[in-house]
Amino acid sequence: MYALVIDGGRPLEGQVRISGAKNAALPLMAAAILTREPCVIRGIPRLSDVAFMGRILTSLGASVRFNGGSVTIQASRIRGFADYDLVRKMRASVCILGPLLARLGHAQVSYPGGCVIGPRPIDLHLKGMRALGAEITIDGGYVCARAEKLRGAPIFLGGRAGPTVLGTANVMMAAALAEGTTVIDSAACEPEVVDLANFLNAMGAKIAGAGSPTITVTGVKELHGATHEVIPDRIEAATFAIAAAATKGEVTLTHVRPEHLRSVLDKLMEVGVEIFENGESLTVRAAGPFRPSDITTQPYAGFPTDAQAQMTVLMTQADGVSIITERIFESRFMHVSELARLGANIAIEGPSAVVKGPTPLRGAPVMASDLRASAALVIAGLVAQGRTRVRRIYHLDRGYEMIDAKLRKLGARVRRISE
């Protein structure tokens, strides 16, 4: 197991290229099994989650070949059984359910795993499959789905915390080969859903409305191979932008889509950070003292839950009291107790974190609990005076490509050690 050792107190300076989006890449890889023909996905990030998805697809019988920043997937013949030992390690693995059901008419997929950030049921995924005509049973921890023929239907995917991103992706993929027209209401509007729809359309699907709350899928008999470029990772971009601000540095992010980051950029400017846009690049500069802010996580295009922990660290450096309210996942403040070890003054009140600042942070050993908490602890370590050791960074490797190398390029004193 590895840890990151960070000697903090230095501003980040320079330029960093943002990798392809993890949350887009995984459904794209799953979509490739909808056809017997080869699919090429470019700009694929080198992450443990991507490697896991490759192993899952290989276990189904697909050929998966990584070559630098691309992956070629050909599923000439596949089976419908996904093994527990692979699927349990990653929540996004549930998105193979729709493609398998559409391609084979049956699927047996273990309940997925992933970060411990609160309950994330897959009931809306199953609701969508049932609406398309599938019979669903749960047997021994596996979801067993079967349908002689999927048929288009109206489907409402609104949930307690808003639309489901993976559920929208799963239903969209299944509906692509269903007979007739499917209308998904309360669909997720995230850029990753749009990216998947673009890929499916390149494969011959007929999908309209992606990026809006209503998506219409007109089923086709078969799909063909295609080549596609993954969109930039908006959460990685947000993480580096917040890190640049928190360390009072100046960093230019390249290979970004500023339009995917509006809520984060708006909050950064609100607290006193300067943002300069230039096409597909952003320059982030800390211009002076930070102002406090009230932040509430929401479905896209609201402030992303995946940037909440990182923003919490920045607010420890603001002059006043900030209120950060989590409306998506109920257990997403697990980083707060670790930030307290560094000196942060944060109190949890129901779904909100009350952050009092500015607070000087000092290095200490901390333990990561999930992917985005890991990123927050790294940012805190960069801000803190002295040495911080972030343990269990396998979470980081799930979602950030070579984050330690990218940070060193920006002048951070960061090294990876084996424990």
Tokens of 94: 């549930």
Tokens of 185: 């209401």
Alpha helices, DSSP H only, in 247-341? Answer: 262-270, 308-315, 336-341
Alpha-carbon distance of 150 to 71, in angstroms, equals 29
Q: What is the CA radius of gyration of the chain?
A: 21
Sheet of strand 227-229, all strands in order from the earlier edge strand to the far edge = 63-67, 70-74, 39-42, 227-229
Which regions of 130-197 does DSSP assign to beta strands (E)? Answer: 135-139, 142-146, 154-156, 158-159, 162-163, 181-185
- Any residues with CB less than 8 A from the CB of 250 and at least 6 apart, and which? 11, 12, 13, 244, 283, 284, 285, 286
Active-site position among 95, 115, 144, 189: 115
How would you class 235 by CB atoms within 10 Å of its CB: exposed for 0-12, middle for 13-18, buried for 19 or more? buried
Instruction: List beta partners, residue 366.
Output: 390
- Backbone dihedral region for residue 339 (phi beyond 0: left; psi -120 to 50: alpha; all else: beta): alpha
Q: Which of 351, 360, 354 has the alpha carbon at shortest distance from 330?
A: 351
Alpha-carbon distance of 19 to 237, in angstroms, equals 9
> Could you give phi then psi for residue 108, rounded to 5 degrees?
-130, 105
Whether 39 sits among the annotated catalytic residues: the reply is no
Alpha carbon dihedral 156, 162, 164, 168, in 10-degree steps, equals 40
Which CA distances in Å does 393 have to 19, 158, 403? 18, 33, 11
Secondary structure (3-state) at 333: coil
Q: Is the dihedral of CA 256, 94, 404, 45 positive or negative?
A: negative
Between strands 320-325 and 352-357, the pairing is antiparallel
> Which letter does DSSP use for residue 272 in this model?
T
> Which letter does DSSP use for residue 314 in this model?
H
Catalytic positions, written as ranges: 115
